Each structure stands twice: as structure tokens, then as C-alpha cells.
Amino acid sequence: MLFLVWYDTDAGRPLAEKVQAALGAYSQRFKEAPNLVLVNEVDLVTVAGIEVRGVRTVQPNHFWVGLTVANDPDPIPS
């Protein structure tokens, strides 16, 4: 699984917008739509059609964007 790590410390920007920006960057870079975003537990937000998972090992303001594939073991703890 490939991840794009997006870093955004803009305190005036809503978390959902930060996630959308990260999703767009992933799509532009890898030419396919992601379906998973890993965030710090304090940055947990709901985004339609995307699994956003809070993971304590992800630093605040970091967004790990990736694509899960069926039959692929999930190496990321919930």
C-alpha cells in the first residue's frame, strides 16, 4: 500500500478541507482515487465516501492518504 503524507498546520482551515486537499494531492500524484485517510485521533473527521481512521501513531496535522485493495491484509492498527 502506498501512502501520500500531507501536512497542514493552518488552524483557520476546517479538518474536512484539509482532508479534501490531501485526497486531491493523492489523486493528482498517483492518478487514482484514494479510499483511506489515516489521521491522529484528535483530527478525526467524517468525509463522505472515504474511510478516515484515527491512529495514535500519526502525528497531529498529518494526513496519510492511501488506497486499500480487496484481499490485501490491513497492516494498519485501528
The three state secondary structure string of 17-65 is HHHHHHHHHHHHHHCCCCCEEEECHHHCCCECCEEEEECCCCCCCEEEE
Sheet holding 3-7, edge to edge: 3-7, 62-66, 36-39, 51-54
pLDDT score of 71 more than 80: no
pLDDT in tens, 28-61: 999 999 999 999 999 999 999 999 999 999 999 9
pLDDT, greater one: 73 or 70: 70
- To the question of pTM greater than 0.85 for the whole model, the response is yes
Nearest to 22 by CA among 65, 73, 58: 65
What's the whole-number average pLDDT of the chain? 90
How far is 70 from 56, CA to CA, in rounded Å?
Answer: 25
Predicted pLDDT of residue 77: 57
